[in-house]
Structure 1
Amino acid sequence: MPRPTVAQLAYGSATVVCSTIAMVLLSQTSSGPGVPVIAVSALILGLFVAMSVPARKREPAAGTATAQERVPAQRLSTTLPSPSAPSAPSRAREPAGP
């Protein structure tokens, strides 16, 4: 399950707080079963609001690059041997002289 974004958390929390205050003031409930009902309904409303905020699609971070960007096309074509070209004999590296 993806993590909620900052906007989802902010909108959901603000909805819970504001709707709880509004419902308590409008219903004039001070005690009894009304307060838990208001609290639960405010939490459910906050969840609905948080889930309705569109989640932003994640883009690759600035430091990461795709495979196409990491290896240039010129380098790919020069490092891979062509199947039609004859292979040149490889020369062994000899150590430098004394």
Structure 2
Amino acid sequence: MPRPNAAQLAYGSATVVFATVALLLLSRATTGPGIALIGVTSLLLGLLVVLTMPVAAARRSRAHRAAAADAAGRAENAEIRVPAARP
């Protein structure tokens, strides 16, 4: 599995924090097991966000490599071409 990028870590962390606060406020849990369950649920939700978030950098790098290969192909073709003599 590739390492998560900065955006994935930020969104995952924010999800954990906001989900924990929201679940604690909505459930009004005061017991230890209830709070632990909310914490585990929030961590799983944050992990789900990190893993399902699209990785834009990989798409961008693939597109960049394809564009560079296309430019290199055009450069090779430009070097091979010889101008025709004018009549």
Whether these two folds match at TM > 0.5 is yes
Q: Does 1:34 align with 2:34?
A: yes
Unaligned runs of 5+ in 2: 81-87
Query: What is aligned with 2:61?
Result: 59
- Aligned pairs (5 A) from 1:2-81: 2-56=2-56, 57=58, 59=61, 69=72, 73=76, 74=79
CA contact under 8 A between 1:16 and 1:46: conserved in structure 2?
yes
Higher helix share: 2
Unaligned runs of 5+ in 1: 78-98
Could you state the TM-score of these two structures normalised by the residue count of structure 2? 0.65
- Count residues with an aligned counterpart: 69
CA distance in 1, matches of 2:52, 2:11: 10
Q: Deviations over 1:12-59 (max 9, x none)?
A: 100000000001111111222101100000000011111111012152
Q: Deviations over 1:58-83 (max 9, x none)?
A: 5289xxx77x85xx745xx8xxxxxx
CA distance in 1, matches of 2:34, 2:10: 26
